[in-house]
């Protein structure tokens, strides 16, 4: 499974992103999300999973536009 990191603004912001997506449709054995300090570590087989998380994190003020763009660009 590939992994990608999304830097968030704070530890609390990363926790909010993980809380929103941990039980989200798509999470499971092939798509995961966990917190590592102020970052979110996204494990995926489907590249739409990290794209959705990065987009949501930016739209909800938990990550910067540039951090979300780096995740999306790396896919």
pLDDT digits (tens, 9 = 90+) for 4-35: 999 999 999 999 999 999 877 666 678 899 99
40 near 33, Cβ under 8 Å?
yes
24 vs 52, higher pLDDT: 52
| Model pLDDT, residue 27 | 63
> What secondary structure letter does DSSP report for 64?
-
The pLDDT, as a whole number, for residue 25 is 60
Full residue range of the structural domain in which residue 23 is found: 2-74
Identify the pLDDT of residue 51. 95
- Bridge partners of residue 6, in order along the sequence: 40
Q: Which two tokens stand for residue 58?
A: 């930016």
| pLDDT in the model for residue 75 | 87
The phi, psi pair for 57, rounded to 5°, reads -60, -40
**pLDDT (0 to 100) of residue 23:** 79
- Number of folded domains in the chain? 1
Q: Given this model, what pLDDT does residue 53 score? A: 96
User: Cα dist. 67→8, 23, 25, 28, 72 in Å?
Assistant: 8, 23, 23, 24, 9
């Amino acid at each position: 499974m590939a992994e990608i990191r999304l830097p968030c603004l704070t530890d609390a912001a990363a926790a909010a992103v993980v809380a929103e997506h941990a039980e989200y449709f798509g999470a499971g054995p092939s798509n995961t999300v966990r917190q590592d300090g102020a970052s979110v570590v996204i494990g995926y087989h489907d590249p739409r999973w990290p794209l959705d998380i990065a987009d949501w994190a930016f739209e909800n003020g938990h990550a910067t536009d540039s951090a979300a763009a780096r995740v999306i660009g790396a896919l």
